Structure 1
Amino acid sequence: MAAPLLAFIFSLLAIASTVRGYNITKILANYPDYSSFNSYLSQTKLAEEINSYPTITLLALNNDAMASFAGKRQLSVVKKVLSLLTLLDYYDPESLHQISEGTTLSVTLYNNTAGNAPEYLGYVNITDLYGGQVAFGSAVSGSKLDSYFTKSVKQIPYSISVVEIDAPIIAPGILAAPAPSPANITGLLENAGCKTFAKMLAKSGVLKKYESVIKKGLTVFAPSDEAFKAKDVPDPTKLTKANMVSLLEYHALAHYKPKGSLKSNKNKVSTLATTGAGNFDLTTSTSGDEVVLHTGIASSRLVHTVLDATPVVIFTVDNVLLPTELFGNSHSPAPVPALSPAEGASPTAPSPSEPPTDESPESSHSNSSKGLANSKSANAAVAVSSPSLFTALVTLATIAVFQLVETF
């Protein structure tokens, strides 16, 4: 009886170790051949986003491959290519050679920002070729399979798999560098349905403040035109110039913080309006794959990524961010509209009046041969409390140990 019980204990502890998550930066730090690849994952903030997913396959490039590709390319271009090398599914060397019917399409992190790009741009074609080779290429029609699996690097079963390929996957148009110049910030905002916000930035002069930090990093939370029509939003024409400036500065950060970074954030976030510790800051929480910003008065959800081109990221948000420093508690918190299950929300979103809590976002993805789920279902997220699961598993293991002791 002791042997089966011991096996059960060890299996529980093994599972418990995996639910604690992983840190891709620490994993790759053990492999000097991928130091350049690892460095770029950190510089582009992709490492933080990778760590937020429960299941990932990373197609890693060694230092020689990175040197021939990255060179003098803009960081925003490097990020796009590396995000295309991040598959939101688990493939170890064995499963790569056992693909049903020999070929499949896998969704990648790049699909999250592909927008109205060509069909399948955010997907990778994986094909098990004759002779034992596995090839990778863009899923866009007419693309070549010119990247090949070379070796296994590291696997944490059904959590993360790192395998090496010999060359980057270059999808059509992916090397084009969007220019995040200060001149087109207002144009991008207007096209995204944030004309009121863009007009206020230009008229108040705060746009120049945004421009002054753009080289070091800029994150913008732009309320939609509809957000300014909400009943609890103060009339901008009745604000003093100083308060208007503070309000607009409160909608931006002086550093690059893409969605993945916000999802993993657990600290208060300083804004351009912050002048000292604890004032004009934001807190964040997650609801599935959604990120919610909390001001102390109301909550606002990230709706759409207008631009993510390192070091600039612009989001639209569904509510105007109202700092307590300007508006106190005179305004009732605006409820965050609940998303339908089809849009990937968890059954209950956190109440804006409750302290924010961070949950580990998870995505549900399945291998499909010659099939392709639409981007929403492929990226559907399920919130899972890993610490609670870890505690439960350890408790079960402890009980099993006591039972083992009692048998002797």
Structure 2
Amino acid sequence: MDNCLPTSRPFAAATAVLVLAVLASFWPPEAQGHNITEILEKLPEYGVYNSYMSLTKIADEVNSRRTITCLVLPNSAMSAVAANRSLATTKNALRLLVLLDYFDPQKLHDLPAGTTLTTTLYQTTGVAVGKQGFVNITNVRGGRVVFSSAATGGGSKPISEYTKSIRQIPYNISVLEISAPIVFPGLLDGSPVSGNSINLTAVLETAGCRTFASLIAASGTIETFQAAMEKGLTIFAPKDEAFKAEGIPNLSSLSRSDLVTLLQYHAVPSYAPEESLKAAVDRPVVTMAAGSSGKYNLTVSVQGEDVTLHSGRDSSRIAGTVLDDTPVCILTIENILLPVELFGETPALSPAPEKEKSPSPSPSPSTTAPAPSTVSAKAPSSLALSPPGTAPESAPAVSPETAAGKADDNTPSGVPKVVPFSWLAAIVASSWALLC
């Protein structure tokens, strides 16, 4: 340290601190994921609540959100809510117990002015009327905290009381036990839904999927769909414009068996709303076309809020939700999904004709061979997604540096990109050098 310049030390130290602070602002925080079913699975007193969270797929909605509070009912109270009611009605009751804010015991007892109005998951459905999607939280005498629907009106208000804390991951998820459900007039009045009570063709035609509706009716596929409704059914219905798109095979040339297979490829024999599909990015989605002749699976990718289905030959983004009435879900998609098992892989694109070049001096013999960097690798002919950790045999080897660059380019917007550790080490070393 004898060669250090004393006058430079304060400036160098300040520079080092500033650099590290800037780097820290770009460094991504540690992920704080949560899984409500895993939190409750070892607590048998909430087994009924936990099972309905899975059946209705509310668990997927909870797990996809960053900041959330779950109000949990013990078995006796949850059994009373679900008794003789459809899954759709039970699902709405559960949505009203999910608060889109973080409330731990301390925050509940320190509410400004002793009360607050908070938004619930039910408000995000688009079916809430007035204040049905909001809940009042109030501190009352004796340190008690109660919950009530903001849409109850002037009559006697059903009261649900906070009883104890179950689990908190600040400020990610809070799980609290309450004594009774939060309800508003009419919330639990829904009658059990029979699969045959939904007019599939009418729903599809209203959503702009008339061609798809006519095809499933004419081929008899609608009977298969209706039979699956009782246990669970999700339909990916292409819009009418999708059947007019360029490159779509002539469906009239298909045999009846192949047409039925294609239509069944657009359905899943389970309840899978959009939030549940987002959780399926690491596993295949088995369609109703699956059988001895092939797997007929789909894969899912997510970019921001967009969910895209991939057949291995083509892909289609989910355009919207037409019906979400547990256990039936109908989603519209932008393109027809063509299974590889039926239509084969996408043909390789023909190389574009070379443009005429202006005359140029003949190269010397030593320069006639193209440089290695100008030799293009042949692109894979299949668009099928490879399983995680694998790559197509024809894919060129990618260096770790290139792979890291590509991964960095695919970082979703709003997520800070990772600063290479080597950069941090170099800057710290440089800053330390300034000290000496």
Q: Contact 1:206/1:245 (CA < 8 Å) preserved in 2?
A: yes
Please give the residue correspondences for 1:32-181 in structure 2 after superposition, counting only pairs within 5 Å. Answer: 32-115=44-127, 117-129=128-140, 131-140=142-151, 142=153, 144=157, 146-175=159-188, 176-177=190-191, 179-181=193-195
Q: What CA distance in whole angstroms lies between the structure 1 residues aligned with 2:348 and 2:148?
A: 51
Q: What CA distance in whole angstroms lies between the structure 2 residues aligned with 1:129 and 1:331?
A: 70
Aligned-pair CA distance for 1:330: 4.2
Farther off after superposition, 64-73 or 152-161? 64-73
Superposed CA offset, 1:42-79 (max 9, x none): 22232233222222200011122113322222222212
Q: Number of aligned pairs? A: 339
Could you say if the C-alpha distance between residues 178 and 195 of structure 1 is closer, same or farther in structure 2, counting changes exceeding 3 Å? farther
Superposed CA offset, 1:256-295 (max 9, x none): 2222321111211111111148632100111223321111
Q: Contact 1:294/1:356 (CA < 8 Å) preserved in 2?
A: no
Look up the equivalent residue of 1:168 and give its one-letter code: P
Please give the residue correspondences for 1:4-403 in structure 2 after superposition, counting only pairs within 5 Å. Answer: 19-115=31-127, 117-129=128-140, 131-140=142-151, 142=153, 144=157, 146-175=159-188, 176-177=190-191, 179-183=193-197, 184-265=199-280, 266-276=282-292, 279-330=295-346, 355=385
TM-score, with length taken from structure 2? 0.68
Q: What CA distance in whole angstroms lies between the structure 2 residues aligned with 1:112 and 1:230?
A: 33
Aligned-pair CA distance for 1:151: 1.9
Look up the equivalent residue of 1:222 and give its one-letter code: A
Aligned-pair CA distance for 1:311: 2.2
Aligned-pair CA distance for 1:220: 0.8
Farther off after superposition, 202-211 or 41-50? 41-50
Aligned-pair CA distance for 1:158: 0.7
Q: Contact 1:59/1:162 (CA < 8 Å) preserved in 2?
A: yes
Could you say if the C-alpha distance between residues 306 and 174 of structure 1 is closer, same or farther in structure 2, counting changes exceeding 3 Å? farther
Say which SS state the counterpart of residue 161 (structure 1) adopts. Answer: strand
Q: Contact 1:299/1:321 (CA < 8 Å) preserved in 2?
A: yes
Larger RCO, structures 1/2 (Cα 8 Å, 6+ apart): 1
Farther off after superposition, 27-36 or 85-94? 27-36
Could you say if the C-alpha distance between residues 209 and 74 of structure 1 is closer, same or farther in structure 2, counting changes exceeding 3 Å? same
Farther off after superposition, 38-47 or 17-26? 17-26
Equivalence for 2:405 = none
Farther off after superposition, 187-196 or 173-182? 173-182
Say which SS state the counterpart of residue 148 (structure 1) adopts. Answer: strand
Farther off after superposition, 74-83 or 161-170? 74-83
Gapped regions of structure 1 (runs ≥ 5): 1-11, 334-351, 359-381, 397-408
Q: What CA distance in whole angstroms lies between the structure 1 residues aligned with 2:257 and 2:251?
A: 12
Could you say if the C-alpha distance between residues 224 and 164 of structure 1 is closer, same or farther in structure 2, counting changes exceeding 3 Å? same
Say which SS state the counterpart of residue 292 (structure 1) adopts. Answer: strand
Q: Contact 1:285/1:356 (CA < 8 Å) preserved in 2?
A: no
Look up the equivalent residue of 1:273 and give its one-letter code: A
Farther off after superposition, 104-113 or 241-250? 104-113
Q: What CA distance in whole angstroms lies between the structure 1 residues aligned with 2:85 and 2:413?
A: 36
Say which SS state the counterpart of residue 228 (structure 1) adopts. Answer: helix
Q: Contact 2:194/2:230 (CA < 8 Å) preserved in 1?
A: no
Look up the equivalent residue of 2:243 and give its one-letter code: F
Q: What CA distance in whole angstroms lies between the structure 2 residues aligned with 1:232 and 1:174?
A: 47
Look up the equivalent residue of 2:44 and give its one-letter code: P
Aligned-pair CA distance for 1:18: 6.7
Could you say if the C-alpha distance between residues 88 and 318 of structure 1 is closer, same or farther in structure 2, counting changes exceeding 3 Å? farther
Say which SS state the counterpart of residue 142 (structure 1) adopts. Answer: coil
Equivalence for 1:349 = none
Q: What CA distance in whole angstroms lies between the structure 2 residues aligned with 1:41 and 1:136?
A: 20
Aligned-pair CA distance for 1:206: 0.5
Q: What CA distance in whole angstroms lies between the structure 1 residues aligned with 2:98 and 2:386?
A: 29
Aligned-pair CA distance for 1:251: 0.4
Farther off after superposition, 292-301 or 179-188? 179-188
Q: What CA distance in whole angstroms lies between the structure 2 residues aligned with 1:277 and 1:104?
A: 58
Farther off after superposition, 45-54 or 162-171? 45-54
Say which SS state the counterpart of residue 201 (structure 1) adopts. Answer: helix
Q: What CA distance in whole angstroms lies between the structure 2 residues aligned with 1:332 and 1:132?
A: 70
Q: What CA distance in whole angstroms lies between the structure 1 residues aligned with 2:184 and 2:420?
A: 44
Could you say if the C-alpha distance between residues 71 and 152 of structure 1 is closer, same or farther in structure 2, counting changes exceeding 3 Å? same
Could you say if the C-alpha distance between residues 197 and 62 of structure 1 is closer, same or farther in structure 2, counting changes exceeding 3 Å? same
Q: What CA distance in whole angstroms lies between the structure 2 residues aligned with 1:133 and 1:332?
A: 68
Aligned-pair CA distance for 1:25: 1.7
Q: What is the Cα-based RMSD across aligned positions, in Å?
A: 3.6
Look up the equivalent residue of 1:299 and give its one-letter code: S
